[in-house]
Amino acid sequence: MSDSLSRAQNGSFLTKLGIYAKMSGPGWIQAAVTLGGGSLVSALYLGVIGGYEFLWLQPLAMLCGIVMLSAISYVTLSTEERPFRTVEKKISPALAWGWLIATVIADTVFCAAQFALGTGAITGNLGFDVNPYVITVSFFIMSLSLIAISQKEGKASRIIDNVLKGLVAIIVLAFMGVVVTLGLKGAINWGNLFGGLIPDFSALFKPTSQINDAILATGDQAGYWTEYVTSEQRSKIIAAFGTAVGINMTFLLPYSLKKKGWGKPHRELSRFDLVLGLFIPFILGASALVIASSASFHAKHADVISADGAPLPGMEGIYHEVLDKRISATNKDFAKLGDSEKEVVRSVVPLPEKQLAAMLSNRKSSNLAQSLEPFLGKNAQIIFGIGVLAMAISTMLVHMMMNGYAISEAVNKVGSAKVFLIGAAMPAVAGLFSPYLWSGESKAAMAVPASVIATTLLPIAYLAFILLMNSKSALGDEIPKKRGLINILMIISAGIASFASVWALSGKGVPGQIGMAALAILAVVGIVGFAKNNKLA
């Protein structure tokens, strides 16, 4: 045990807090990946459709993630073997390889999304007129250089830890600065905000009060709009849970812990590290985004349409996406009409419905920055752009790290810098071509398989570590003696993840049905493997 760790564990609470804060690291890496584009979009959409009433959602989602990641860290630090091999030998090879393959697919596809997010921040929010491929090449060179530095021991390796801590701090401070500015300008309803911190599961089944008032104003079409809003709310809740802790994050943590050289004496430190480095930054950053989005967009339409219901320049796409669905519900031939004919049909839709469609339009991150200009002035785009750019860079780096660990494990060459760099480069190559891959129809085509596989296998990763926490074969004498509460918390967390997984897959047709079947089969295989190995132990 190191001198610092010994002093922390034998000292006062404040001494322990200070020393643990200096020693922290893996939790910050987890925060760098979860504070990415997915969290940005989820928080933005939650604020648009749910206002402050959804502030409780992401803290609850992350709390479930912290429970499972704490179990993963306990298993990792209590055994001498790498976690992939532990799952493979003590639970099920199918479970282990499904975990690894889903991680590689998610890393490769979604790292490209971070390249696209960063490119958009530079050319949009920050206003640089640069060829997007110049930006992605720069990202490619910079990220690979930093990853190479991270593989060196000592001071060079700590550079990456500090870079990621700095980027996470920039993300959180940038978005919190936006909230402070909104608060000083009186744009935040603090009573509703604090009320939104109390969990309200009825939000799954009913619109918020302000949106409901707008629905009632639509008269005969109120039934359609109620169903539409509740469906959108449920899907955004599931998305928020999914972006809090992804399957690739469960693969990353064990290798981050091993790389730090932590072992059994560091188990308490690892839990502290997850709270300080992951839970607190995520809650502050994600909550700030929900608050800013709620204050700017919830139950408001003036930023999307004019007083007579005509869409404002640049807002036509997101507005027509919502309005056209309502029209198509009663006019089956609407999709076949030409553009000019569609405009005629749209023009006769009653104004209350146009206003509601505008309220429900999914704004983009650039719209949020624009909406803050009355409060932040000309600095709005810059402040928001810096936060988004930091978000993209930190997340692309960690996606590459995760893939490096996964490929190294796949070929059983963990510790080889060459193999790690090859694995880390795979997502960066996809990112290099993100201006093409993440545009038009290509974007949707790439996202479907990754989403289906990653969403399906997240509860399987959770199940694997629930089984490991109760496995005499894997943990031996290190198995927790009083684990009743631990099991209850893990089962609740895994249950929520399973609900989100099945809910997400149920709307994806045949691929979704295949995903749900795979979920059930892998669960049975895992439980049977656990029972067999535990009996032998």
pLDDT tens, residue order, the chain (537 aa)? 567 777 766 667 777 778 877 887 888 888 877 877 677 777 888 888 888 888 888 888 888 889 889 988 998 898 878 888 888 888 888 888 888 988 898 888 888 888 988 888 898 778 888 999 999 999 999 999 888 887 776 666 667 667 777 777 777 787 788 788 888 888 888 888 888 888 877 777 788 889 999 999 998 899 999 999 988 887 777 777 767 777 888 888 888 888 888 888 888 889 999 998 889 988 888 888 889 888 888 999 998 999 988 999 988 888 999 999 999 988 888 888 888 999 999 999 999 999 999 999 988 777 777 776 766 677 778 877 888 888 888 888 888 989 999 999 999 998 888 999 999 999 999 999 988 877 754 554 555 555 555 666 678 888 888 888 888 888 888 888 778 888 898 898 888 888 877 877 776 778 778 878 888 888 888 888 888 877 765
Q: Among candidates 246, 272, 281, 251, which has minimal Cα distance to 70?
A: 272
SS3 state of residue 311? strand
What are 433's two structure tokens?
């071509």
For the chain, helix, strand, coil in percent to 5 are 80, 0, 20
CB 188, CB 295: distance < 8 Å: yes
CA–CA distance from 380 to each of 174, 289, 368, 453 (Å)?
A: 10, 14, 9, 38
- State the amino acid at position 349 in one-letter form: V
SS3 state of residue 384? helix
What are 396's two structure tokens?
């692309």
CA distance 470 to 459: 17
CB 526, CB 92: distance < 8 Å: yes
* Domains with residue ranges and CATH for the chain: 3-303+365-536 (1.10.4160.10), 316-359 (no CATH)
- What is this structure's pTM? 0.81
CA distance 405 to 410: 9
CA distance 324 to 331: 10
CB-based contacts of 419, cutoff 8 Å, min separation 6: 404, 407, 408, 411, 413
Q: Which residue has the tokens 């990853």?
A: 147
Q: Among candidates 33, 516, 61, 490, which has minimal Cα distance to 256?
A: 33
